[in-house]
Structure 1
Amino acid sequence: MSLIFASLRILFGGVVILCKGSYFGELAISFLPHLSIISFLGLLFRVFQLWRFLYKDKQKKSLKRRLSPLFVLCFGILFGCFLRPIKQFYQPLHQLNQSIDSPIKVLFSNIYMGNNNIDAIKKMILDENPDVVLFVEFSEEHSQALKDFFATHYPYSNTTSRSKIAVGSIVFSKYPIDNLADDFPQANWRYGYFSIDTEKGKYYFYEIHTASPVSKAFFEKRNQQLKQIKSDFFTHHQSQRESDAKIIMLGDFNTSPRSAYYADFAESFSGTLENITKTFPILFTRNLGEMLNVHKDFSFLPLWIRKAGGYFPFFQSHIDHVFLSPNLKFKNLKKIQIPGSDHSGFIFEIE
């Protein structure tokens, strides 16, 4: 039985690696980050069996022990393949101690369209006191419940994109906003493009919310949206900005660093934009626990199960990102949890 189980694990891991660009392959490699841990445990077990085969129980040459060298090789290859994207992406941040005289404080989160924790959201914003607030999945209900609050504290706002189900991406700011996205169909490409004018100069923002790959059709739509963002950035927008423009691209990309599509997207911006969420230990912005707690579809589950989901390592992923141009200084990047949201967001300071 153990031979069959080990063989199935190797087969599954191999299929995931070979088909990582496919819909099901990406779901596995992006939303099951524990695959590298499973491969490592399998490797340790098979190394132990190999040691016993070579040095301890020389008389007991069972089939599984004779196959141990092959299993060690296979699990070693899988472990290396699953570890490689982690090693390539995650690294300690190197700019957190940069001196910033008059920083602009930015808060971003997917607020979750069904979120009704209005008072708690207000309190968090007042406590953090950001200069710019960006939300995706901002619904009409949110707009009605929060319009007086934001009108009081953030005189400038702009709805940067809107989907067919009336949830969109929005920005609130203490500084004037210039919407630069009027000349393209925002709802199709699911991103907003605008600038914010401060006494320190102009900052260009891209607020991203690509389609969630809940089906193959949406998976393909998300991939097309990522391509369109790249194309617009370099062929349409680049020529309209200053050569030393300060650019912030952030949002819910619905794409993890383990995705082949993320790798292609990030590589195309190499030298132009850098993902500042490259932090270790591994950072997750979406996890099973938050989903179970805030989605009404799971309210039938006992409370202890929903709470336990937050500690369960499966189905956690890093799908929200912040990219900055190299001429931007930043500090105090931290992960935040908007009350009632199924995503974690970010808050940071830039200059």
Structure 2
Amino acid sequence: VDADRALNPDNDDDEVGGDDVPSSCASSCLCAPCAPLMGFNTRLRRVFGWQLLAFVFSADFFVKGAAKHLIASSFLPYAQKYLKFSAQAFQRFDVLVSFPWMLKPFLGVLTDTTPVFGYKKRAYLTFVSLCGTIAIFMIGSMTFHPEDGMKFAVLVTLVNTLIAFSDVLTGARLFEAMSLNQTSGGDLLTYSWMLTTIGAIVGTALSYIGLETGQYRMIYWFAFPCALQLVFTSAFGLLPEKKVPSDYSAHAMAKKHWNKFLLAFIITICSLGVIAIQLVSGIVDDFVTCFLCCVSIAAVLCCAIYWCLEKKVAL
């Protein structure tokens, strides 16, 4: 050892491996907390492909998570400040603009039976994303007055249509992938909900800035790029989707799954009934009438579910 030190005076390490061992250990210690997450992501990418994971990030983190919570947090203060909504008026407004969420079964039927340019999801997502992004831009840039309530309601409905469409179509693609890879399907669902939750936290934190300062339009400008990026990811086909064959028959699909299509139609009609209850003052103001209408709608839905679906699923 002494001879080696004499021949190599610059080498003062007493341990085998020199400085590389402590450095390697330090790097390993720093990366250790992230190792499970990196392994989780690598496994998902190997099974489902990077395109699906990237689009889920685009839709769930930015739209379903961040944009949704940014906009939801600003509805009430924005309407009170610029449109002078009362509590009762805002309740009706909230039900009206939430209508796209009630149409989720119908949206699924529409996209499955009516492909556009050979794709079931791409064109719909692109068009709805573009409309929703324009609506967010208009809300953030326009000055509304109390007489502009209907205009504001239409724009907010378009925004909710964007979020609902994104949720339905991305979720449908997720379940398709999960059905083909059942052993890793739970991991994909965890990935989706993790991104949605993180996006919701980010959106809520950003909305606090606008709510605290009273600059509610700023919240919509935060949401604008979140919605805009979905236009490009949808238009350029980031969501992996096979083109429907030339002999595709929507009639054959409807005939095969007639019970599910019928249930979607009944749910849509019942949703329209819920909207009608909120818009008719005579029903809303009369508790008994409102209660009976709600019970009737619930009864129709229960009967339809029991009749249209398999008994073990319906129960």
TM-score bracket relative to the smaller structure: under 0.3
TM-score normalised according to structure 1 size: 0.23
Higher strand share: 1
